[in-house]
Structure 1
Amino acid sequence: MHDSRFAPRAKFFSLLIVALLAAPVLLWPQSGFALPFFDKLPKFKVRVSENKELQNWLRDKLGEQRKSSSVLKSYDDPLDVARYERGTLEKLLRSRGYYDGRVRQSVTDGEIEYRVVPGPVYRIKALDVNMPPRVKGGFPGVGLKVGDPLEAEKVTEGVKRIESYLADNACLLNVDVDYQATVIHSEQAAKLEYRVANSPEVHIGQVHVQGLSTVDEDFLRKRLKIQPGDCFNRSKLDAAKLRLLRTNLIAGANAEVSDPESGIVDITFTVIERKHRTIRLGVGYTSDDGGGIAAGWEHRNILGRGEKIEVETRVYEAKQSLKGELRVPRFFRDDQEFSATAEASNEERDAYDADSVTVGGIISRHHTKHRTFSVGSELKFSKVQEEGEESENYNLLSFPLGIKIDTTDNLLDARRGATVAMEVKPYFDLRSSGTQFTKNTLVMTGYHTFDEVRFDPTLALRIKAGVISGADNLEIPADERYYAGGGGSVRGYAYQALGPRRLIPSTVAGEPPTLSDPIGGRGLSEISFEGRFRFTESWGGVLFVDGGNAYADPQPSFDDLYWGAGFGVRYITSFAPVRFDIGFPLERREDVNDSAYQIYVSLGQAF
């Protein structure tokens, strides 16, 4: 039951925490932006008369240097900082074509002011590209022309354009491109010349692979995508080495090219295989499940072609499980994967006890770089007993269908991008009851990091909604209904503590009925906000707000939510952050005795 007396207070606290999370966005860096207490460098201003665009660019570049320069961190005197940054500003001016620019600095009350007189822009007077005549005819140009400003970034971009063009249109043994810019101060101009070093054109002869002991050679050869007779270029070799590493079977790869003979070169790839077996052992604790241990073993090359088998067991106070999975990459197609799983588990929750055995298989296809489709089947044998009810046996056959769009930059610690994942899972009970229902779940996340702000704050958002259709609430097995609350849901509330309840008649005459534990529902709504901060390379922190609820009717709503808030610490490892969170319920329900706080320790971000 939802006590409306707490709603105004909960909304106030949730809005307060959201405001705290949004503060880094509102504190968008202005002139000399610095966070008090945390930033010991003096504030600064950059003045460029009649050129606002250049002024803003110089200010932003100087601010970026302050975040990364180890030299500046060693200065205590503002005059030393000013002298160092004056040199930086002069270099920046030259990179934009201002070769007569002057910078004056002054320090007043510990604040630095830089007055910049950029002078005239030096422009390109003559432009020439020297490359082999046989390939120059189709070259579209370097992106610069006579009369353009001599800007360093655009000049180096021209080198990349030439290298890219030669990789696609020539078979040069070596691609060596450089440039020379001759500045003419008397004319406030420059001559720019790009030069491609002479090199023979060759084709690929024999391709060899060395260093293999357990990995199938033909399997790796297909990953190379290099054939005898192909036009030679270095980018093909780099791409081939990257594909070898992406198999996760190779720890290192090197390509050696023979001396050319009659226009032919042989290539030898020397590889170092990874150790294919791993044993894992871990411990963890949450207020939801209590303490426990997890152990696992995996072999990432069980059949010699990158097939992975993994066995894992988890033993916690509330749940024990044993799971095995076989994953076959490039299943009939390079963009397709097959996985088969088998799991036995025992759960002892407040809402129900469940013993189950599940077997299934899923085929996933990467339709594009960011989009994946999946289809499969699953058979689950379970025995479920709800509070105050007799146990029920189920033989559930399901056919999960899924689509996922993922543009994030890191699976376990995303800082940019977004995900959208939707699963439609029809269930059929093979027993005589004939129960049928469909479970539909949608999860969306988004991440944005503000690199210009100190501590690199990341704003993270997660929205989850679920609907079960086709059967009444109590006809659906209790362990398949939706629940809210817990470390992956609404932090601050116990696991599965939120959702519909039922009245239990009293066995004592004259006494009122009591509320049961949550029975789960056919609708689910959840929303989470996080502000993540990185104080050092190894340590970070989090502020979060979570809201959510489960509903008996399949009509999820984002109005009638319970809210929790809290903070956490992150220890950032090379693999994933270790998280410690403490969450507080913003609406403690006296009738169900909510705890004052919940603690969560695990690997990886909450979402």
Structure 2
Amino acid sequence: MRDVKKFCFPKAALVAIALGFGTAPAVALDFGFAAPGAPDSFGARLRDASLSLSTAQAEGSTAQDLLAAAQADYGRLTGVLYAAGYYSGVVRIRVNGQEAASIPPLRAPDQIDRIDIIVERGPSFTFNRARVAPLTPGTKLPEGFATGQPAKGQLIGDATRTSITAWRDAGHAKADVDAQTVIADHATQSLDADITLDPGPRLRFGTLRIEEDARPSRVREARIREIAGLPTGRVYSPAERERAANRLRRTGAFRSVVMRDADTPNPDGTLDMRTQVVDAKPRRIGVGAELSSLEGITLSGFWLHRNLLGGAERLRLDAMIGGIGGDSGGEDFRLGARLDRPATFTPDTGAFLLANIEDNNEPDYSERKAEIGGGLTHIFSDQLTGEAGITYRYSEITDDLGNRELQHLLFPLRATWDRRDDPLNPTSGLYLDVSLTPFIGLDDDGGAGTRLYVDLREHVSFGENDRFTLAGRAQLGSVTGADIEDVPADMLFYSGGAGTVRGQRYQSLGVDLSPTVTIGGRSFLGFSGEVRTMVSDSIQAVVFADTGFIGQDAFGTGRGEWHSGAGIGARYFTAVGPIRVDLATPIGENAGENIELYIGIGQAF
């Protein structure tokens, strides 16, 4: 970098210029900043640390403010030097030509016309001694914390924190620094860093102490302890403590959860946890809307109670009406209710009850159904969850096979592995959802089978500030076992529309058993790809292509067809997620002639 970088500006004008406003007359302030011989990157670090510069840019700063900032900069800039391994550096700060350190803090000049900062790094020091002890077995210190390496001050802090964390992970909750000696030898340009730790005793988890806020929680204390699942009696672990806090957060019943170690261990070698919770608002209402040029308008809404019975039970009522003004067979209706109870049997296992009624009028069938059931959920990790249940289902179906009534007992199993960074706008990470539903017919002629559905998504971003995102999706479905007329219509597969192949008409691809008989397929394959590009902070452009296959047989053999679509889209980012607008057309026949419009909230996948 150049030895001197100089800025001359009216002090009050800085903010006005940044905001694009005009300036009023103000006292002129000259600001000089120099770091002789330093590379640009290090000079930038020094300027970023300067409180004088940021104070000069602040609207309404007084001479007293500027002097206080200048005097604070000695320590701030010296800290930057030490962090980079420069212990002979010199910092000079002159205010109106006088060294800032020599000006009494309460006798600031009435007017400050000039501030000059000069930072001389001096030579780089190396470690003559780099020691942290004692260490728990297996502790790996930062690679640069070793004799002969540049003696960056930040490495000393990193090595100390790493060592203390390792002791705490091993159960020594009160591990801390016992003594420290850091000596810089300017003659040899070397540094001795000797840190002695006090691991303290190995502790076990004690009890969960719930500290009431001004407004006690509506969730019963016994349930708070059950949900947290603190492993009382087991060896202390910060990770276990965080898992207990996360279990409380996941319920949604609390706006805030803070869990801390007690200040002192108990005489029996246990350490209690101090917990404070703040309740979230118990009720919540949400609405949503989507628009497709063929499927019409879909409206949805829900009502949620987060603490129905005082044990963080969650009751959610859902309603949906779709196909309004569309050309997709008619209007669809859905009402559903689900009650979830966390911490049933184990802290990570929940129980649920559900009931749904639906009236679906699709292009190739209409179906009325009612379901009632229940089951268990389990959280295996922050990324992996599972669900298993049993459901009774009654269906009335009208399609090209005729009219029929079906009764089934379903045994749904589901596992979800979600490593995305943001469910509404993922830019990285993998998502995998697998559903396996064995079913048994309860009618006279019975019929048993299994439905499999897999949804795999991957997102990768690259470029400056991750400007570009590649998103891919693969879907697979299969129904085996029961005769086709014994399978509920919506458990078969169709392709076309927003969730499968954009640009193709909604559920336009099924299986033609004859010129007059079209039903859903037993197998489904779908592939989608998107390239998303940020064109501004709030607008994203998208190009995409989708393709889908529907087969008559469970494994994709025999009769089957493919169809595809492609298009362009835009995303406008809001506080509730990106608003999605897509325009798509079929690939192949009718390409460019039929245009479909899709509008919704959140990315397509």
What TM-score results when the alignment is normalised by the length of structure 2?
A: 0.69
1:75-94 alignment, distance < 5 Å: 86-89=39-42
Q: Partners of 1:586 and 1:83 in 2: how far apart?
A: 63
1:482 aligns with one of 468, 481, 493: 493
> How has the CA–CA distance of structure 1 residues 96 and 490 changed in structure 2, closer, same or farther, with 3 Å as cutoff?
farther
> How has the CA–CA distance of structure 1 residues 227 and 490 changed in structure 2, closer, same or farther, with 3 Å as cutoff?
closer
Higher strand share: 2
1:604 aligns with one of 575, 579, 602: 602
Aligned residue number for residue 210 of structure 1: 212
- Unpaired stretches in structure 1, ≥5 consecutive residues: 1-45, 47-69, 75-79, 102-117, 506-515
SS of equivalent to 2:540: strand
Aligned residue number for residue 163 of structure 1: 164
1:321 is the counterpart of 2:323 = no
- What is the CA-CA distance between 1:426 and the residue it aligns to? 2.3
1:247-286 alignment, distance < 5 Å: 247-254=251-258, 269-286=275-292
1:435-474 alignment, distance < 5 Å: 435-450=447-462, 452-473=463-484
> How has the CA–CA distance of structure 1 residues 147 and 220 changed in structure 2, closer, same or farther, with 3 Å as cutoff?
same
> How has the CA–CA distance of structure 1 residues 225 and 496 changed in structure 2, closer, same or farther, with 3 Å as cutoff?
closer
Q: Partners of 2:398 and 2:234 in 1: how far apart?
A: 66
Q: Partners of 1:137 and 1:420 in 2: how far apart?
A: 38
1:219-230 alignment, distance < 5 Å: 219-223=223-227
Aligned residue number for residue 421 of structure 1: 433
Q: Partners of 1:390 and 1:254 in 2: how far apart?
A: 60
Q: Partners of 1:206 and 1:374 in 2: how far apart?
A: 29
1:332-351 alignment, distance < 5 Å: 332-351=345-364
Aligned residue number for residue 554 of structure 2: 554
| Paired AA for residue 446 in structure 1 | E
Is 2:546–2:564's contact at 8 Å kept on the other side of the alignment?
Answer: yes
- What is the CA-CA distance between 1:229 and the residue it aligns to? 9.4
Q: Percent identity?
A: 23
Is 1:527–1:547's contact at 8 Å kept on the other side of the alignment?
Answer: yes
1:311 is the counterpart of 2:317 = yes
- Unpaired stretches in structure 2, ≥5 consecutive residues: 2-14, 20-32, 46-79, 90-120, 325-330
- What is the CA-CA distance between 1:258 and the residue it aligns to? 8.3
Is 1:447–1:460's contact at 8 Å kept on the other side of the alignment?
Answer: yes
Q: Partners of 2:444 and 2:273 in 1: how far apart?
A: 65
- For 1:335-376, what per-residue CA distance to the aligned partner results, in whole angstroms no more than 9, with x for missing partners? 222222211111111111111112222323234443334322
1:293 is the counterpart of 2:296 = no
2:249 aligns with one of 245, 250, 255: 245
Aligned residue number for residue 371 of structure 2: 358
**Higher alpha-carbon deviation: 215-224 or 177-186:** 177-186
- For 1:487-533, what per-residue CA distance to the aligned partner results, in whole angstroms no more than 9, with x for missing partners? 1111111211123235447xxxxxxxxxx6x5221111101112233
What TM-score results when the alignment is normalised by the length of structure 1?
A: 0.69
RMSD: 4.5
> How has the CA–CA distance of structure 1 residues 523 and 258 changed in structure 2, closer, same or farther, with 3 Å as cutoff?
closer
Larger Rg: 2
Is 1:455–1:535's contact at 8 Å kept on the other side of the alignment?
Answer: no
Aligned residue number for residue 383 of structure 2: 370
- For 1:117-162, what per-residue CA distance to the aligned partner results, in whole angstroms no more than 9, with x for missing partners? x999753112244x8xxx7797957443322343566444313213
| Paired AA for residue 541 in structure 1 | A
1:123 is the counterpart of 2:126 = yes
> How has the CA–CA distance of structure 1 residues 589 and 208 changed in structure 2, closer, same or farther, with 3 Å as cutoff?
closer
> How has the CA–CA distance of structure 1 residues 433 and 152 changed in structure 2, closer, same or farther, with 3 Å as cutoff?
farther
Is 2:135–2:167's contact at 8 Å kept on the other side of the alignment?
Answer: no
- What is the CA-CA distance between 1:294 and the residue it aligns to? 1.8
Q: Partners of 1:184 and 1:244 in 2: how far apart?
A: 52
1:396 is the counterpart of 2:408 = yes
Is 1:473–1:521's contact at 8 Å kept on the other side of the alignment?
Answer: no
SS of equivalent to 1:414: coil
> How has the CA–CA distance of structure 1 residues 198 and 362 changed in structure 2, closer, same or farther, with 3 Å as cutoff?
closer
- For 1:29-69, what per-residue CA distance to the aligned partner results, in whole angstroms no more than 9, with x for missing partners? xxxxxxxxxxxxxxxxx9xxxxxxxxxxxxxxxxxxxxxxx
Q: Partners of 1:423 and 1:383 in 2: how far apart?
A: 24
1:523 is the counterpart of 2:531 = no
1:102-117 alignment, distance < 5 Å: none
2:399 aligns with one of 379, 382, 386: 386
